[in-house]
Each structure stands twice: as structure tokens, then as C-alpha cells.
Structure 1
Amino acid sequence: MGFLARLFITAFALWAATQLVPGILVRGLPSLLLAALIFGLVNAVVRPVLVLLSFPLTIVTLGLFLLVINAAMLGLTAALLPGFAVEGFGPAFWGAIVVSLVSWAANRIFTGP
């Protein structure tokens, strides 16, 4: 799947999170697309380092700590982009779950099993 397709899937997932989770706000389509781009970059660069550093904690929590890392990536994206806001850990946590599920479902629909 191409770069633009993944960008739009991530943007759609972030939009779904703004609609379903109170405390996640975005100011317009340009901010949403830029948030999707930054979120992808953060997940590609920062997330692997955090996953590696927190590996023992992830093992102890049977993988549940990865949800905290995903929430941190969403919060970092909001900190880097003025037009995208996440108001606390709770919205970041639930927003990360929504983004993960919507992205997974959209990728599954467009790429097949």
C-alpha cells in the first residue's frame, strides 16, 4: 500500500478518535493531515526506541504497557502540532486504542486478509 493511502488511513483513524473520544481536538483538515504525517513519523522513529527500552516492563505486564506507549505517541504528536490537542492521559489512552483499531480495520479492508 502506498504512502498516501497510509496517510489517509491514519488521518481517518485520528478523525474517528476526535469524534469518539472527548478530549481529542483537531482544527481542520490541514491539521488532521499534518497530525497523521507527524504521528506516522513519531511511530516510525520514537516508538521503536521506547518499545526496546521498556521491554522488561512490557513482559511483566503481558504486553499491556504497549498501550501506554501508544498513548504517549499520540500525546507527543499533539505536543508537536499546535492544531491538534490531547487533553491528558485518559483521552490519549482511549484515542490510541481507537486509532489502532480503526487503522487495523481500514488496512484489513483495503489490503485484504
Structure 2
Amino acid sequence: MEFIKRVIIDTILFIALAGLFSRTGMFYVNSVGTALLASAVLAVLNVLVKPILLILSLPINVLTLGLFSIVINALMLQLTSSFVGSFYFHFSSFGSAMLIAIVMSICNVIISDHINN
């Protein structure tokens, strides 16, 4: 059930952020179905790939006091974009992926805190 909640929340965030950044061209989502597919792919990648990346980057993550996690989250979003297809789900640059990762992390913390209380 937690997996489905996370996928639905990420889908809504993808749609909202694509609408927010629509005029800048930083982030593009083709449709709601694409957002749902991208959030499912992101959830699977977060389970399979992200722990390996976190272990490999542990020294630099400790040195930066955890801020390197933003870079890892941006890498996960770029990897999601490459799996889904850049025509359907696209970031204009790595910097835009980092900005979307920061906004998504903040929104996920707020939403998770609201759901748990």
C-alpha cells in the first residue's frame, strides 16, 4: 500500500511541477499516463539502484553533510527520464533535474508528515 501511495504522490508532483515549469522548458511531462509511468519507474529505481549509489557515495555524502543526496536524487530523475523516454519525460539540464529533486524532496517531506499525522 505504501508503494502505491508513493507512486500516486510522485505522479501528482510530476504533473504539478511540469505545469509550474511549463513556460521555462526545464521540465516536461507528456501526459498523466507518462507521469504515472515515470513515478513507477522512479519508485523501482529508488528500490534497486539508489541504495547502491548511496553506499558508493557514502564518503562524499558524509563530507557534504548529506547534501550529495540531492545529486543522487537528480541522477535518479535523469535515469528515469532515460528509461521512460526523453520525448515523453524530459529535463533540460542536470541543474533543472537537481531543482526538481529539491522541490520534490521538500514536497514529499511535507506530504508524508501530513499523511502520517
Shared fold (TM-score, shorter chain, > 0.5): yes
Across the aligned residues of Structure 1 and Structure 2, the Cα RMSD in angstroms comes to: 1.4
Q: Which runs of 5+ in 1 are unaligned?
A: none
Matched residue, 1:19: 19
Q: In the alignment, residue 8 of structure 1 is paired with which amino acid?
A: I
Check 1:52–1:13 CA distance in 2 against 1; reply closer, same or farther (3 A cut).
Answer: same
Identity of paired residues, percent?
Answer: 34
Higher relative contact order (CA 8 A, sep 6+): 1
Q: What TM-score results when the alignment is normalised by the length of structure 2?
A: 0.87
Judge which range, 7-16 or 34-43, deviates more.
7-16
Would you say the 8 A contact 1:16–1:99 is kept in 2?
no
| CA displacement 1:56-95 (0-9 Å, x = unmatched) | 1111111111111011001110111122111111110000
Question: How many pairs does the alignment contain?
Answer: 112
Aligned equivalents of 2:97 and 2:65: distance in 1?
Answer: 21
Aligned equivalents of 2:56 and 2:27: distance in 1?
Answer: 28
Corresponding position: 1:85 with 2:90 = yes
Given candidates 86, 95, 99, the residue that maps to 2:104 is 99
| Offset of residue 54 of structure 1 | 0.6
Q: Which runs of 5+ in 2 are unaligned?
A: none
Aligned equivalents of 1:51 and 1:69: distance in 2?
Answer: 8
For 2:28, what is the secondary structure of its paired residue?
strand
Matched residue, 1:2: 2
Aligned equivalents of 1:90 and 1:38: distance in 2?
Answer: 21
